[in-house]
Amino acid sequence: MRSNVIRLAFGGDERRFQEFLDELRRALPANAAAVLRGSAVTGVRWNDGAPFDADGPGTSDLDLTLVGADVLDWYTEDGFYIAEVHSKPLSDKDPDIAPPLVPLRRKLSDMVSRPVNIQGTRDWMMFVREYLMGQPYLTLIGKVEDA
């Protein structure tokens, strides 16, 4: 999965991937984890099976999920699907639901020349998504089960 992510989302450039991880490490609390989900991991869009960047370079977004109770504090009350458990993604659709994350989203999006959407969730939701919903993810920072 890691090599797929580097190839698709970072143009095969390991250095760019490491810089992305470094930026995440600086921004996250020590007890948080970060994972990447979606077509950057699987290579295809979930809704239509189209390949990553099917609409041209930089058209597929990155689905970044921050895992841990502390990161959920960054989301506004209306920024949740399930209150205090699973947020909506900070994205162009919902650009104001996590004000402390806006600068990070902007920086990460600039680094990869594509939108980076940032969701927050609890560790057990990642279990549900992976094992019950069949949504694989790549852990970028930390350990999901410790977040």
Element (H or E) spanning 133, and its range?
A: none
Residue numbers of the domain that contains 59: 2-146
- Given this model, what pLDDT does residue 146 score? 74
Q: What is the mean pLDDT of residues 141-145?
A: 87
CA distances to 1, 78, 109, 145 from 104, rounded to whole Å, are 24, 20, 8, 24
Tally of CB atoms within 10 A around 105: 20
Please, which contacts does 128-134 make with residues 24 or more away whose CB atoms are closer than 8 Å?
129/37
pTM: 0.92
HSE of 58, CA atoms in CB hemisphere, 13 A: 7
Residue 143 in this model has a pLDDT that exceeds 80: yes
30-46 per-position pLDDT tens digit: 999 999 998 999 999 87
Residue 64 in this model has a pLDDT that exceeds 90: yes
User: Do 92 and 115 contact (CB within 8 A), yes or no?
Assistant: yes
Residue 102 in this model has a pLDDT that exceeds 90: yes
Q: What is the mean pLDDT of residues 64-90?
A: 94
- Given this model, what pLDDT does residue 131 score? 61
Mean pLDDT value across the chain: 92
| Number of domains making up the chain | 1
Confidence bin at 127 (pLDDT 50/70/90)? confident
Residue 147 in this model has a pLDDT that exceeds 70: no
